[in-house]
Amino acid sequence: MATRAQAVPALSAEFGDADLGDERLDQRLGLLADRVAERPGESFPKVLDDAELEAAYRFFRNERVTPEGILAPHFRQTALRAAAAPQVLVVHDTTQFEFGGHVKREGLGRLIRPGQGFFGHFSLATSADGTRKPLGLLGLETVFRLDKAIGHKAWTRSKRRGESDRWLRAVAAVDALLEGKAKAIHVMDREADSYALLAALCEANSSFVIRSFQDRVLVGQQAAGLRNAARAAKVTLKREVPLSPRPRIPGPKGERHPARRYRIAKLSFAATAVEVPRTGESRKEQSTSLRLNIIHVFECDPPRGQPAVEWFLLTNLPISTSEEIAFAVDCYRGRWTIEEFFKALKTGCQYERRQLETAHSLLNALAILAPVAWRLLLLRHLARTDSRASATAALTPKQIEVLRAVAKKPLRRNPTVREAMMAIAGLGGHLKSNGDPGWIVLGRGMHDLLLLELGWRAREGHERWDQS
């Protein structure tokens, strides 16, 4: 049975070897992380008393405090956890952070749609087994678009290419951090499909699974094309896979991802080896072609009105057997974990609602809240994947005591972490018939539990005072 220390470490432990150039700043970081982690969905003024709040604002504004300095110890702790696993996935993806209000905040840039904010490119490590246990972050790069709108002449092709190079920088940073002590598989979505990145990964002998975006020509088979070759490959495996619901996601030129209802999809897998030539924009690359494997995942008979699933996955993982093909596909399916991380950060930690006035302060707050979001993700992971784990892996004994007293349904003395999480979600208004709770009701329930805990402690304090 996992203990609290083994399963969910205090956030201050993630920053234990921080070096911000001043011991007082290092101590403030640990204290601030633990206080915010107790109530991640609340604003700083609600979490901190007046003195703590002023100290926190000074910390965020301090020019000596940087997001790189804050996150470095967490990255090192994640690398240690990764080294202890037989194999890990490193999922890379970008999300945008939008900050509302009529007042323009210092240093923020434009977004895809009107607004102010910036983009964050994250590298999240998980176990490579079927559980996809979140291990922590291994990288973060932020992108600020400080020029004018996309159609303006200042937004040149070189600037677009400079942004796309973040995928390559992220891989290099992760590999340098792991130092070969962990066997990593890099997983990326369609935006990462570039010859330069594929060539760099192959040259470094780094394992990867990347969803293909463009239909490339093939060496010696210009008439066939990448996708035709994949579609012509023999189906070696069929599997039923649950597809999560998805809202409509518009893109810059219309529909990017259509809406999708939850369903069990019957998918077929096929794979083949291909050789792709160097592209015109990659003349600087030494290799004139790359030998890759491509996996075709497709749904033959989707429900009426629902778009069929079809993925083309580029990889250098082996595809000789149906088991190897299934493993590579499961690696790509593990990419969804980072989407859940983004929800934990934006909804569970309410990052985009933080009322900080400068980019510097917002980035320092992000560097603290990102590991908090990882821990929220880990807590929910434990609740979902290990029904026997004790609730002490996620909650303090006092919180369990309060929860047993206020839960809508009776809770036994030593509940599992899943029973405790469902009870917390019930406080937030979740109905068991609706399935597993989402971030909103979990955040609401945790907020109510923490308020009740404060009242509980206050009552105990008065009782001790009356008896003295």
- Dump pLDDT digits (tens) for 333-370: 999 999 999 999 998 888 998 889 899 999 999 999 99
Q: What is the mean pLDDT of residues 305-328?
A: 93
Burial class (CB in 10 A: 0-12, 13-18, 19+), 450: middle
Q: pTM of this prediction?
A: 0.82
CATH number for position 415? 1.10.740.10
Last residue of a domain, one of 281, 298, 326: 326
Closest CA to 9 of 80, 107, 72: 80
Cα 257 to Cα 119: distance, rounded to the nearest angstrom: 20
Confidence of residue 283 (pLDDT cuts 50, 70, 90): low
228 and 312 both lie in a single domain: yes
The answer to whether position 76 is within a domain reads no
Average model confidence (pLDDT) across the chain: 83
The answer to whether position 229 is within a domain reads yes
Q: What is the pLDDT of residues 1-34, one digit of tens each?
A: 343 334 555 677 788 888 998 899 988 888 888 8
Cα 84 to Cα 332: distance, rounded to the nearest angstrom: 22
What's the domain range around 404?
A: 386-467
Asked whether the predicted pLDDT for residue 191 surpasses 80, the reply is: yes
In the chain, the percentage of residues whose pLDDT exceeds 70 is: 84
For tokens 């609602």, the residue is: 353
The answer to whether position 430 is within a domain reads yes
The answer to whether position 85 is within a domain reads no
The answer to whether position 187 is within a domain reads no
Three-state secondary structure call for residue 409: coil
Q: What is the mean pLDDT of residues 250-260?
A: 58
Please give the span between the terminal C-alpha atoms of the chain, in angstroms, as a whole number.
Answer: 40
The answer to whether position 423 is within a domain reads yes
Number of domains in the chain: 2
